[in-house]
Structure 1
């Protein structure tokens, strides 16, 4: 869940002139435990952890669309666009 939420809201690799600007994790924004909202975890047959990650980004995008009518199509999402 945290990896999927981070991908949707924080993770970003920037390029300039074909080169990656982030040289290490001090300049690459990743979701931290303190950024994570409270969640309820349900273990389902088939896996733990990574099984839910791919569904998080589209779930957030669809929730944003249902609330505002604005589609979020690029990650990380610019949440100010739907505020």
Structure 2
């Protein structure tokens, strides 16, 4: 399993915003790394982003996500 790069993480967010991938798919992808016994992620910013992305599908009600579209855009700005 290749170590993800920041560009991979940012593209996942962009694809969620475009509607080409679901939040649940991104969360599942990030969770593979976050829950690994020895994740081997050398870049601390990538690690932080993976933690954020593992919770991108959290809901604050049955019909709305905890992290808004504005939050996702903020993540893009913060980590690019």
> TM-score band, normalised by the shorter chain?
under 0.3
Q: Which has the higher helix share?
A: 2
Greater Cα radius of gyration, structure 1 or 2: 1
When normalised by structure 1's length, the TM-score is 0.25
More RCO (CA 8 Å, sep 6+): 1
TM-score, normalised by the number of residues in structure 2? 0.26
